[in-house]
């Protein structure tokens, strides 16, 4: 049995999408599991080392540090003395070229380097550091023709990229991954277990939305109370067994209403309506796009996602309005409330 067994296809997708990190361009993976290898900025890496090196152990499938060429090369094209000695290009770090001036300035220093390539997307046998190779890659789009390495080229692959890919297969075997980025954004990371816990806690809250069960039966006439009841029981039991059923804690983070423990939007505190989970948010007039099917209700993070914080976790997520989520942006709920207070205070002239 699965937590989404009595949900509509859309609702199931909404839950399953929480497993994925966001897609990115260039070196970032397209829509991969949050548990996947992460890319860390060099500046973030240094901050983590200062704070607590053990934070890095959380990335179960490893990490790769993206380094600006100017942070690596000295004037003579040698490795800078102060470049952190725990990093080695091709092992846990790579040079990332994003603009043509940098490439022109440093490319001769890269003549003995290989371009980044992913050798395994997932492997139990091969250590994380050996699952990819290469010292540098390019994602330079502000020049004609663009300079884009194979690993960064998903969606815009040219014949030259195909040739490189065939060469890679020849060197590393035909099972080499399709080279669609090397990792996820570090702030999206969550372990496999935590990803699953989040799915269950979020599903459990959906069952608590008033009239949700009636709505499900309306949308899927083949459902009956027993079937819904069985799945809800399964979800609640999973939550209880994994310490995900502290409803007071969910009240504290503003995911549930204090009065009747029903889900509320963590920003505006309004009760969520069952129908709105299945509705598509209205689009701005004149800017409507047929392929934009964003729902009225979206996932909200109470504390914002940030590198090394691992904030995609249970008791930090709730369901809320798309509009409120847009207002929140990259901030925590508290920061957002303070921002709104400041704005309103200015209006009153004090």
- Nearer of residues 133 and 328 to Zn ion, judged by Cβ: 328
Residue 108 has which token pair? 């001769």
Count of other CB atoms within 10 angstroms of residue 191 = 17
Contact 74, 80 (CB under 8 A): yes
- Nearer of residues 41 and 275 to Zn ion, judged by Cβ: 275
Residue 235 has which token pair? 């979800």
Least distance from Zn ion to the Cβ atom of residue 160, Å: 49
Q: What distance, in Å, lies between the first and last C-alpha atoms of the chain? A: 57
* Per-residue H/E/C for 156-181: CCCHHHHHHHHHHHHHHCCCCCCCCC
Least distance from Zn ion to the Cβ atom of residue 303, Å: 17
- Bond preceding residue 266 cis, omega within 30 of 0: no
Residue 130 has which token pair? 């050996």
- Nearer of residues 37 and 322 to Zn ion, judged by Cβ: 322
Exactly one of 321, 328, 333, 336 binds Zn ion (CB under 5 A); that residue is: 321
- Nearer of residues 30 and 271 to Zn ion, judged by Cβ: 271
- Nearer of residues 64 and 256 to Zn ion, judged by Cβ: 256
Least distance from Zn ion to the Cβ atom of residue 214, Å: 23
Q: Is 185 helix (H, G, I), strand (E, B) or coil?
A: strand
Count of other CB atoms within 10 angstroms of residue 172 = 15
Least distance from Zn ion to the Cβ atom of residue 294, Å: 15
Least distance from Zn ion to the Cβ atom of residue 325, Å: 8
Alpha helices for the chain (secondary structure H): 9-17, 42-51, 69-72, 100-106, 159-172, 192-207, 212-219, 225-241, 247-252, 322-328, 333-347
- Nearer of residues 244 and 272 to Zn ion, judged by Cβ: 272
Site string for Zn ion, 248-287 (x = CB under 5 A): -----------------x-xx-------------------
Least distance from Zn ion to the Cβ atom of residue 259, Å: 17
Point out which span in 3-11, 75-83, 110-118, 314-322 binds Zn ion (CB under 5 A).
314-322
- Nearer of residues 182 and 264 to Zn ion, judged by Cβ: 264
Least distance from Zn ion to the Cβ atom of residue 265, Å: 3
Site string for Zn ion, 208-237 (x = CB under 5 A): ------------------------------
Q: Measured on CA atoms in the order 208, 210, 216, 222, is the torsion positive or negative?
A: positive
- Nearer of residues 1 and 269 to Zn ion, judged by Cβ: 269
- The torsion of the CA quartet 237, 247, 13, 32, rounded to 10 degrees, works out to -90
Least distance from Zn ion to the Cβ atom of residue 226, Å: 34
Q: What are phi and psi of 114, to 5 degrees?
A: -100, 155
Q: How many residues bind Zn ion (CB under 5 A)?
A: 5
Q: Which of 31, 287, 321 is nearest to 183 (CA)?
A: 31
Q: Does 301 bind Zn ion (CB under 5 A)?
A: no
Residue 4 has which token pair? 């989404």
- Nearer of residues 50 and 259 to Zn ion, judged by Cβ: 259
Q: Which residue's CB atom is positioned nearest to Zn ion?
A: 265
Least distance from Zn ion to the Cβ atom of residue 320, Å: 5
- Measured CA to CA, the distance from residue 189 to residue 20 in angstroms comes to 9
Point out which span in 213-221, 299-307, 322-330, 335-343 binds Zn ion (CB under 5 A).
322-330
Exactly one of 324, 325, 328, 336 binds Zn ion (CB under 5 A); that residue is: 324
Footprint of Zn ion on this chain (CB under 5 A)? Answer: 265, 267-268, 321, 324
């Amino acid at each position: 049995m699965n937590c989404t067994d009595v949900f509509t296809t859309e609702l199931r997708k909404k839950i399953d999408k929480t497993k994925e990190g966001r897609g990115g361009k260039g070196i970032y993976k397209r829509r991969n599991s949050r548990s996947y290898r992460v890319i860390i900025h060099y500046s973030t890496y240094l901050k983590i080392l200062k704070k607590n090196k053990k934070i890095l152990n959380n990335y179960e499938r490893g990490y790769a540090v993206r380094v600006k060429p100017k942070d690596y090369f000295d004037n003579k094209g040698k490795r800078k003395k102060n470049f952190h000695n725990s990093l080695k290009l091709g092992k846990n770090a790579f040079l990332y070229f994003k603009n043509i001036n940098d490439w022109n300035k440093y490319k001769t220093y890269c003549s003995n380097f290989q371009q980044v390539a992913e050798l395994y997307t997932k492997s139990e046998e091969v250590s994380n550091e050996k699952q990819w190779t290469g010292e540098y890659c390019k994602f330079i789009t502000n020049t004609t023709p663009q300079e884009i390495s194979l690993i960064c080229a998903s969606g815009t692959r040219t014949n030259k990229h195909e040739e490189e890919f065939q060469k890679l297969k020849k060197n590393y075997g035909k099972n080499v991954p399709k080279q669609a980025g090397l990792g996820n954004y570090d702030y999206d990371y969550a372990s496999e277990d935590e990803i699953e816990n989040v799915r269950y806690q979020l599903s459990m809250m959906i069952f608590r939305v008033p009239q949700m069960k009636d709505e499900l039966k309306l949308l899927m006439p083949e459902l009956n109370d027993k079937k819904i009841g069985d799945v809800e029981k399964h979800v609640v039991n999973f939550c209880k067994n994994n310490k995900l059923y502290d409803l007071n804690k969910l009240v504290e983070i503003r995911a549930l209403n204090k009065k009747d423990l029903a889900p509320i939007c963590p920003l505006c505190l309004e009760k969520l309506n069952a129908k709105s989970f299945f509705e598509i948010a209205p689009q701005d007039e004149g800017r409507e796009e047929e392929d934009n099917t964003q729902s009225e209700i979206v996932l909200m993070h109470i504390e914002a996602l940030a590198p090394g914080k691992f904030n995609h976790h249970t008791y930090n997520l709730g369901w809320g309005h798309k509009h409120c989520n847009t207002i929140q942006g990259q901030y925590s709920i508290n920061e957002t409330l303070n921002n709104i207070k400041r704005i309103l205070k200015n209006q009153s002239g004090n």
